[in-house]
Amino acid sequence: MEPDGTSLARTVSHHPTYPPPRPPNQDTVSRAAPQAPQNERSQSNISQISEALRDENFFNFTDGSFVWTFGDNYCGQVLNEGTEPVRQPVLLTKLRKQRILKVACGFETTWIIGDNGDVWAGGSNDSGQVTGLMDDEYDMAEQDEAMQPTEGPPTGENDNKRPRSAPTTSRGAPDSINHAKRLELRENQKVRTLQSGRDHTVAVLDSGVALSFGSNEFGQLGHGTPPSIQRCKAGVMRVSPGSKVQSVACGQGFTIVLMATGQLLSCGDGGQGCLGHGSLESRSALGPIPTLMGMPMNQVACGVNHCMALSITGEAYGWGKCRDGQLGLGDTVSDDKKLVPCRVPIERAKYVACGGAHSAIIARKGRLLMTGSNKYGQLGAPTGLVEDRREFAPVEALAEMKIRIAQLGLRHTLCITYMGTLLAFGCNQHGQLGIGSDEALVCQPTEITFKDVPHQRQFFFSLSSGQDHAIAVATSDPPLRVKKGSGTREIDEWLAKERSMIRTFSDYRNEKGLRLSDFPRYVSSDLSPMRKALRAFASSVESGTGVTAQELREVIDAHSLDIIPLKHQLHVILADVHTMNASFLVGVKRKLFDAEGLESAYRQLFALSQIADIIPELISHFEKCLMSVATYEKELRTSDQLRFIMESNPRERERERQNDRAIQKHAPCVMCVCARGCLQIILQCPLFSVPTSLTVPLMAKLAEVTFKLSQRGKETLVRMAKEDTTPEVFGGRLVAHVVAYLNHQIEHHTPHYRQLERIWHAVHLLQLLYLANWECAKERKVDENGASRDFRIPLQRFHLDGITRFIDVVSECKMFYELFRDPKHQDQEGHRLAWRPQQVLTVSQLNHSNTFFLAHHNLCPLPYKRKALRVEAGRYQEEYMVRSLIQMEIPYFVVTVQRDNLLNTALARIMSVAQGSPHEFIKPLKIKFENEEGVDEGGVLREFYRLITQEVLNPDFGMFVYNEQIRTIWFNRLSLDDNLSMFAFVGILLGLALYNNVLLELPFPLALYKLLQHEPIGLEDLADTFPDQAHSFQQILDHQPGEEFDAAFGELPFEVTFDYFGETKTVELTEGGSEKTLTYDNRQDYVELYTRYLLVDSVKEPIERFCKGFRGAAHSELITVVTPSELQLLMCGTPQLDFEELRKGARYDGGYTPDHPYINTFWQILMSFDQEHKRKFLIFCTGSDRAPLGGLEDLRLLIQRNGTEPTVRLPTAYTCYNALLLPEYADGDKLQKLLVQAIEQAEGFGLR
């Protein structure tokens, strides 16, 4: 630890800086934790491997270790049996032949740990912080009895009050020890790591138990007993039953514990906010840090009164005192302390350290960044130039060096380079820099030299700094073959290899509570595969607290017959939210979620014959995970905390980093940075495919957790779902599981569905997934054919069929009308505010406005919406019919027309009503042909619409233009002003058709229906109207910057030039557009403006007239619940493709004839296709799925022979010529198989 108690937490696991000791001998093995009987074979294999490694002699450690100490010595902490300051490092000859693994310093104490668990210590012992470890009074069985859950801080009234005396104390300990005193520990007690504060110490045993002793003035020992200023005996820190401690960090009067799962717990003095729980209260029992709940951490460090932590994805967080800028949060932070962790805007940090009033981060490539006070030059910069920093900045003097370890004292800094040299700078008043100089301040990093070194060069691998003293450990220059002049890469490879040999499965089992269940198969006479397995395994352990999908698959494969070990593995991985969030990641530099790997592991798991015995275990683990975060939903903001729902990638983290500075001005909380979350792991589980009595409560809890997330957490969740799940996992697992749950709940709780919160929580979760799908569609592009890309999954996948089957539409309509008439849900003109998917992010509570299904109309199937529209129309029509009967009026809106003058007579009648009595449109529409007998029961109305739409939509009429390539029509910008009333007439016609439930054949693109629904239009809509222009615009957007872009587009002004009846006209796209030219930076504006001009601005008046007429005639408040694509289906129905018409117009070549037997078989196959495959065939042959205005017969499809058997050639097509090149296969089965394959893979065939 650092002078003030800074921790080197998890140093062994994450920093390859430790010397490779010999493999454990028999004595060492005998002192390991006892193994269960089923592990006897594994234990035997460990011995075999250890012996093999010994024979390999990877590292010659016969010379032992070089342990050096220096600095202030008034408590004997330099361990040289004196009390005078030591300015030149002294060698502890007593430990010369010992193999030292790590060292640690408290404020005035020094600790040394050997490879076999031996411990030496010295320094101040006034509170028993040294000799307390030897106290034999504590009972290890007390661990199981005293461990308590850590869901929250203690609630006792006297928790923060100091009692008069401690319940138990150690007696007779000397006030100081000035030599390296060997501490006699119990036989089976082995210390793995240790940290010390001002007057307390915490030792972590190999078994994962944490023993704390010394002063308990503020409850920093975490025993759960009242605070005491007396010396306290060593006792077990109270953590959750079965949990294991990974490492600790100690500050002046507080302790931060890092669990093996990656969770952080804190206890002790909260006066400076160092406990991170949002208040200044102290506590004597370990409790979680709410803001970091669910986020697996990799390292934690404590200064005197501040802390820093590092997540598994390399994001740094700081909290506690920040008056001198030691948290590195920037100038915008005016507080002198932060009570909860705040993200530090540093990318992919590797290591954090804290000192008195300064902090350090080692970033990528060994860059040392520092912040805080520079009063004594401890930032490596002259004090006159830099007084202090409030943001992390590189140490310029070390710009050419790579730093592996940094240790910070009260006012000085020490560090080890990648080449194993030791550097120091800062205050040297007590010789704490070890440079042998009397200078009080040394602002320039200076290499420490050593006298009487028995070898020419030393390689330092471990370092720790106390308040004003330090200890460092070195070995002789590595004989490995890292010769003088070797680069840092060779050093890294050596350290990685040596450490992977040290960290055997015993280490892994003790630290993680796991074991490699198929370990015996790695034992082989060929040591190369063994070494490779060991190294890969150690690397996976050290990268985080979880496991990979590949490791889980291997475990499943190894225990397909014996599921007892498999259940144990699943318990360790899935029962804790932190472990789950750290699992199933891939990548070294950037941790990405392996959704496909997890899916594969799930499939393998559920294929086991004994899966029925495993399912209850899975349910239990998932429940425990969700319950552990149930009270912290609002704190789940980052994707590292949310991986158990979804996943994310580096692009999200980059966006969050860009927003951090602004956010920190307003919220002293964790910045949403490194993104991932474990709800994905739960929601992706195949258990939820079919709702059962086991999975329903679990899904309800999961939905509740997501509903209670903060807006920031929901935004993170949406981005994770959008960017890091495959469409198969997103639609087939996440969406499908929520939909299945909701349909089940609707079916079984229909009478009181509005009162069940679990239903609406799940609806909210489904809406978040819908938003992710919606956001994907916003980012789609236009392909080379001008066609726009679709949503990630079809919107129909979100529809709840249970609504149509079980929910009463009348009561839903009633709720909708009440909401519609609420002024809070209306715009200034009294119209209902348009629904947007983004609204789900701001929902924080359930109320009458969001607990009925028409409020979530995007989840309602189209048949249900059609039923709602018919109920609404029927209500209006019945109301006016009754009124008409009372007033002795005709209860229908009757339009009498002349068949030979259909357009003019219909226009006169309808427009006169529109201008005089538009309420007539509310009555049911009836058509009467003049001088013809017959009563309109629907057939006459349909005939009228068929005839009149053919006339008014005919491009020859001049109102619309027809695009033969995609067979759509659009408003003609060259239409005469005299036709404006005609556009209103067409709008009224279509509105009346919708109101009276008449289906039409309308070749309008989706863009028109977007305009009718007030939806924004974009480039993808241009592709459905003017595909050539859309493709050209997409090329502009995709073009690379540079001279080529300027040469190709640089002279294009922001204006449009076109011919208007022989006259050239120019229209500016924006004010001053003629003077503004296209550049790479403004290309997006250019495309958006030009697109809007083509679709809207150039035909603004016709569109406005059309839309106004349509909305007035449709007369529907519920029209807003349908999407543009659904409105298109409501008006046009599902396009029915008449392939008999296609056959009538077909042509043949190459030997085929209309009566050829093979051609007859071909048409029989086509006629058997469903509408979807018919549509795909039409796209394959012609490039469009729409019929021409004259029907499919007008396509004149050409079918040409393209070879005979033997052949495996697929059918191909020339879409420009409506030509199908069809090989003559041996039989109809082969023809059908290859034809379906061709149309399913249409993008790969034919000419586009």
1216 included as an active-site residue = yes
User: Which pairs count as long-range contacts for 913-918, CB under 8 Å and 24+ apart, including other chains?
Assistant: 914/984, 914/988, 914/1109, 914/1112, 914/1113, 918/1112
Strand pairing of 893-897 and 925-929? parallel
Cα(877)–Cα(884) distance, integer angstroms: 10
CB neighbour burial string for 496-535, b if at least 16 within 10 angstroms, e if fewer: ebbbbbbbbbbbbbbbbbbbbbebeebbeeeeeebbebbb
Q: Alpha-carbon dihedral of residues 1025, 1026, 1027, 1030, nearest 10 degrees?
A: -110
- Cα dihedral across residues 1126, 1130, 1135, 1136: positive or negative: positive
Instruction: Check: CB of residue 602 under 8 Å from CB of residue 686.
Output: yes
Instruction: Check: CB of residue 1138 under 8 Å from CB of residue 1167.
Output: no
* CA 45 and chain centroid, separation: 40
Q: Assign residue 1067 a region: left if phi > 0, alpha if psi is -120 to 50, beta otherwise?
A: beta
Cα(1025)–Cα(1094) distance, integer angstroms: 9
Count other C-beta atoms under 10 Å from residue 1032's C-beta. Answer: 14
User: Which pairs count as long-range contacts for 663-668, CB under 8 Å and 24+ apart, including other chains?
Assistant: 664/329, 664/330, 664/332, 664/333, 664/342, 665/332, 668/335, 668/338, 668/339, 668/340, 668/342
Count other C-beta atoms under 10 Å from residue 1191's C-beta. Answer: 14
Count other C-beta atoms under 10 Å from residue 1057's C-beta. Answer: 9
Residue 805 burial (C-beta neighbours within 10 Å; 0-12, 13-18, 19+): middle
H or E stretch at 1169: none
Could you check whether the bond before residue 1206 is cis, i.e. omega within 30 degrees of 0? yes
Q: Among candidates 130, 97, 129, which has minimal Cα distance to 115?
A: 97
Beta bridge pairs of residue 476: 458
Cα(764)–Cα(759) distance, integer angstroms: 9
- First and final CA of the chain: distance in angstroms? 68
Count other C-beta atoms under 10 Å from residue 31's C-beta. Answer: 16
- The residue behind tokens 């491997």 is 49
Residue in 232, 250, 672, 1216 annotated catalytic: 1216
In order, the DSSP letters of 561-578 are S-HHHHHHHHHHHHSSHH
Q: State both tokens at 253.
A: 């009067």
Strand pairing of 469-476 and 458-465? antiparallel
- The residue behind tokens 């030897």 is 134
Q: What is the DSSP letter of 929?
A: E
- HEC string of 428-461? CCCCCCCCCCCCCEEEEEEECCCCCCCCCCEEEE
H or E stretch at 783: none
Helix, strand, coil shares of the chain, percent, nearest 5, are 40, 20, 40
Cα(691)–Cα(697) distance, integer angstroms: 10
Instruction: Check: CB of residue 191 under 8 Å from CB of residue 207.
Output: no
Mapping DSSP to helix (H, G, I), strand (E, B) and coil, where does residue 423 land?
strand
Q: State both tokens at 325.
A: 């800028």
Catalytic residues: 1216
